Structures are given as C-alpha cells and as structure tokens.
Amino acid sequence: MNKRILIVNVNWIGDVLFSTPFLRTVREANPNAYIACLLHPRCKEMLEANTRIDEIILYDEELAHKSIFGKWRLIKELKRKKFDTAYLLHRSFTKALIACLAGIKERVGYPTKNRAGILTKVVDEPSEELHKVEYFLNIARACGMEPKSVSYEFFVREEDRKFITKLLQKESISEKDTVVVLCPAGNWPPKRWPAENFARLGDELAENCGAKIVISAAGNDLKLAQDIKSVMASVPVIAAGKTNLNQLGALLERANLVVANDTGPMHVSVAVGARTIALFGPTSARLTGPYGEGDYKVMSGNVSCEVPCYDITCADNSCMSAIRVKEVIREALNILAKHDDR
C-alpha cells in the first residue's frame, strides 16, 4: 500500500512558496505516495496547480475551523484519510495536536510552542537563522531526504496564459511588445518603495525602451495603482484587481521585466522564471529574499537602520527611499538590453 503523507503548511503566500522545494523533495523521495497539503484558504491558489501534491485540505482557522467543534470536524476528516506521516512546517502547537488527534502515527517537526511531547520525531532548530527555504528543507534533510534543487516553483496553467494574452490584447499589447510589470504594493507600508519612484521608473522605461507598463496589485491596492498612473507621462495598464493569483503568475511569466517590493508577487515572479528586480528595505534578503536559481537582482539602499526591522508603524521609510530611482532605472535598462540581444 502506498504511503500517505500530510504536509501541514504555513499561512502566508510568500512562505508557502518557500515551502515548494520541500514539497518537491518529499515527492521525489516518495514518488508513489499520496501527498496532501493542509493549507490556509488564502494560500490555496499558490498550490492549486502544483503537480507535486495530490490534494489540498483547507484549514480555515478564522471561520469554519475556529471553534472546538470545527477543529473536531477537521480531525475526523484527517482520520478518515488515514495518513501515515505528517510533516509540520507550521510552528504551531494546535496544528501538531490536530495531527496527533487525527491518529497520524509519524509526526515530524521543530519543537516550537512546547510541542516536542506530541511529535514522534523532533528536528533540532538550526543554530543560526536560515532562509525560509532552507528552514523547511532542514526538516527534509533530518528525515534523510536530500533536495536536488533549492529553487522554489509556481506552476502556470495554459488557461491562465490565455487569460493574460486576452487581457493584454484588450489594452493593445501584443506578444511582440516589451512588457514591464510594476508591483508597488506590500503587506505593510514600510516595505513599499515610494509611489512616485515607480512612476518615474515606468516613464523612463516607456520612453527609452518603448516598454508597455503594467501596474499589478490586489484589488484593495487599486488606489495606489491609480495614484501612480495619475503622475505618469506615459499611460500604464492597471491590472490591479483584474487577476487572481494563478493569472498573476501567468502575467509575470509573460513580462520581460518585473520590478517589485518584497512581496508574494515578487517571489511568484522569481518562481516563474521572470527577470526580476526585488526592492528590499526593512526586511532581510538573506532570510526572505529570492532564492535558488533565477534571473533576479536584489536592490537596497544604505541606511543605518537595523535589518530586519518589523516596525510596521515606521513613517520615515528611509530604507526604501534610499533605493535611488536612477540606479533602478540603470539596472532595468541593462536587463532589457540583454533581453533584446537574445
């Protein structure tokens, strides 16, 4: 009988992407296993097309599974599926307890949140801070599974490519056009490069390369996209709120260049192999930056602030403002020139 494996994943889009080298490693070590992933609903799209797993099981901690009764329904569902092994990428005690109560005999993870007693295999915490990709792969290595690659991956479906082709065609952008996608948002304001900088960058690339500029963001960042457009001399396409996560992956894959803050979309861009400029300020590229193979460039400014900094109330934003527009323009032009030479 084939092994049945449950991977208890993390709760944020970027971190879920960081888990994909772990998923690939588990699949390569267990080619015939049935592999399911326990996942927060907001991250579902991140793994929907991932061929390394057979099933996504949603754990909705805010709604369906918030109560004790909701959690018990989930436990009964996991029991029925008869998993042999659970790999706990998430650090929570509750998720480890759910795996235990679901009768999963082998439970592997870090001894965080005082949960060592309900794990059957405790993986020692690394002696130094690792990139999230390596933090997850450390669990695989502790179980004798050596990764063949540390690059993360995002699978793009043909239906999503067709959607993006039609979306761009409606804006008079053809397959021959040079497309630059700007991702100016960020889950907290101090991670955002100033909007006027994105505007200047877009105008320079439109004028010097004839690039078609697309501003991509979630629907709740539509105003940010419109604010950038309002101060641009060129006319960008606003894709904010027009794509889901899978369609965003197809848009970034189509782009000749993506310029993004430290966000989930930046990592999706790297994962689909797009040429990417990643703008880093308060967060550490060493810990949460692009990782593995790919055509990407991390840019940050020189400031005296300690990095990483998680002061989400910071109004100064000096670390992001220190990334000079002219330097990003120069890097972007170099990348697009290389593309033209191919």
Residue 331 pLDDT > 80: yes
Does residue 200 sit in helix, strand or coil? helix
- CA-to-CA distance for 75 and 102, rounded, in angstroms? 5
pLDDT of amino acid 89:
97
DSSP 268-279: HHHHTT--EEEE
C-alpha to C-alpha distances, 76 to 62, 83, 101, 112, nearest whole angstrom: 19, 12, 9, 25
Q: Is the pLDDT of residue 341 over 60?
A: no
Question: Residue 68: is its pLDDT beyond 70?
Answer: yes
d(CA 125, CA 117): 15
Range list of β-strands (E), 34-91: 34-39, 55-58, 85-88
Give residue-wise pLDDT tens across range 84-102. 999 999 999 999 999 999 9
The label of the residue with tokens 């403002």 reads: 321
Residue-range domains of the chain with CATH:
4-142 (3.40.50.2000), 159-341 (3.40.50.2000)
Confidence bin at 103 (pLDDT 50/70/90): very high
Q: Are 83 and 1 in contact (CB under 8 A)?
A: no
Q: What is the pLDDT of residue 320?
A: 81
The pLDDT-based confidence of 67 (bands split at 50, 70, 90) is very high
Note the pLDDT of residue 342.
Answer: 40
Question: pLDDT (tens digit, 9 = 90+) per residue, 1-42?
Answer: 799 999 999 988 889 999 999 999 999 999 999 999 999 999
Chain-centroid distance, C-alpha 15:
6
The string of pLDDT tens digits covering residues 218-277 is: 888 899 999 999 999 999 999 999 999 999 999 999 999 999 999 889 999 999 999 999
